[in-house]
Structure 1
Amino acid sequence: MPKSTSKYTTDDDLELLGELGVDLAPEPSGQRSAKEERIIAGFEEIERFVEEQGRLPQQVEEHDIFERLYAVRLDRLRESAECRAVLEPLDSRRLLAAEANTSLTPEADLDDETLLASLGIDATSENDVTHLTHVRSLRDKSRSRSEIKAAEEIAQRSLCPDFDEFKPIFDQVQRDLEIGTRQTIKYQDNAAVNQGDLFILDGQKVMVVDMGDPFVSDYGRPDCRLRVIYDNATESDLLLRSLQRALNKDKVSRRITTPDFGPLFSHVEAADDLPTGYIYVLRSKSDHPVVAEHRSVIHKIGVTGGDVNQRVANAKKDPTYLLADVEIVATFKLANINRQGLEALLQNFFSSVRLDLELQDRFGIPVKPREWFLVPLEVIEQVIEKIKDGTIEQFRYEPKTASLARS
């Protein structure tokens, strides 16, 4: 009887795998603790100082208090085995390998109060560092606290590897702004930041696509790590409070609102309703070969403030209607709506499947109707429902499957 295979890895197995260069150590979890986030955030401040100044921070009395704080913090990070384990994979500048400036107790906490105490500065509530008035006198040409903070707000950006997933969203947002279904408001009028929010910062569109677990910073304030995508195909993993500071500093920063159509579909007319209108969906009776072959999925999508039957009464004389009679296959009643903006939104959503067909009008002039699309009626109905519940920006039309897909 053959020997059964053990489900456990033996010492012989480990020895053999070691000779083959196979590492069985478990992959580290991507989840970071609040303490690890604080360690990384403090190290990033030092990295930004080095990038801006071109040198390591120095604990020199003539230098400003923040540079001296960075110098002490860097020494603590170098001498702490726990900190080095967290930071060495991220230390592209090899700051941890540089020669230390001071010798400090590795086990000490890495909060700024302790670091300042190492500099001989009392940072208790009665002597808070934020209230120091003599710091600039140490060096007249040193940077101000606001300048230091501005440097800290600059996050390292990198190319966004999956930008193809986000580009259609940015494109749709731009179209929404152009047709008025989205607006921009001053960021300061609504300073909250949530996942999915869109902003204009330094002239660029910015989208918050992910928010990490919250943690408490060294200053005792709640914070979290973000994944932020920019419309120039870059991304950043800056902190929430860094983004908020940048938005506040930019005097022309804007929040991009979500589409707002008001009471889009009205079943009961109210006394203060604006004149009602209709979304209408038409099917052509044209005998053109292309239309005849795909008649069931070729539809005209439009919005009107008048009677749909009257609008299509002379369809066979109008190139807009493919110079043929049409069948009204669906209508949706509207109230209090920007009809032009809604029509543009619907047609932009299906722009990738716009019917490419050229006809000659009664004067022999070639025309290309722009409001016909190769899309099933049920998908049009689904899109109208998504507009109604305010989730349309989360979807796109997938021509290969003739269905909606998440953006």
Structure 2
Amino acid sequence: MADMDDDELLAALGVEIPAPKASSRTPREERIIAGFEDILRFHQAHGRAPVHGQGRDIFERLYAVRLEQLRKLPEARTLLAELDSHGLLSGAAPAAGMDEDSLLAALGVADDSADQDDITMLRHVRSSTAKRAAGEIADRTPCADFERFRPGFEQAERELKTGIRKTLRFGRDTSIADGNYFIIGGQLAYVAEVGGSIKAPNGASDARLRLIYANGTESNLLRRSLQRALYKDSTGRRLSDPDTGPLFGAMSEPDDIESGFVYVLRSLSRHPFVAEHRELIHKIGVTGGKMETRIAGAEKDATYLSAEVEVVATYKLHNLNRTRLENIFHRLFGAAQLDLTIEDRLGHPVKPREWFLVPLHVIDEAVRRIQDESITEVVYDPQSARFLARP
């Protein structure tokens, strides 16, 4: 029996195939619908219509202009009536601002549309690939605890204005760690958390970020997605760490202590991960008081992994600035920070800081380098567990 093609086989089985319906939409109508669908997705993500404003995300400003144009198109309400369940087209028009072409020009986005004469045509409707790329940056949700981060953004902006921080072109240093600030898509962004290591489809290591933006939104980008976006964004920048200033000096400052200790603790927790890596996991801190007082009741404190601890090293220092010294350790070993969440006494999840996957001999070297001020010449490589010369 001769082989039948798919259509013949379905016909023999009595299955009718409906003929594909030809689209009755004109190319112009298709563009209008596609443009409005972008606005609907924004409304679904943020619970409101897009609005103008210098502090707004680039795409929100574009969508606000587009919505304003749609409200002026006579045929838009009829064409989009079934889609406009939120009444976006009947709302008050946004405050006057640049039209979409002017805004794109100001942002450096060229218009390659072949039809330049129709001023009411909705151009710049992006391809699915472009939408996915934009979604890596623009798909955000409101940050419920933004007030925790607001002071940090305000301080970072002050430090930029005074020169304490600088903006660096992304590329030479591609690392992304807790506490980093970036400028992406015209917005200041803060890496609040780097999640546990996961495998990307190509087998490379990746991690999910909690990225907070200065406009009160957040996203959970993958680390590699943020790196790609920063590479592609001609205005993308990394904010340098603030100049810590001299660690030891003759002039007293409010956070200085006449003498004190850098201490290194090891946890006696029975948590499986801690137990397996006990010789590698250390807490680094600074105190001006007695160590016995500092660690009393550690088993009741989530800061100490809710377990007893042992002191494995102390380094007595004089005339030191506590905040600067702790910041140095956090930045130095940030890439090796312990990624572990435990519950406190009330059952609330807590992610302790100041615990690092760093060998004790490396901490010894770090203290020596801080004392002789050569710490600025090296970076810590968690893969080889040693210091490397700064590039």
Fold-level match, TM-score > 0.5?
A: no
Larger radius of gyration: 1
Structure-2-length-normalised TM-score: 0.37
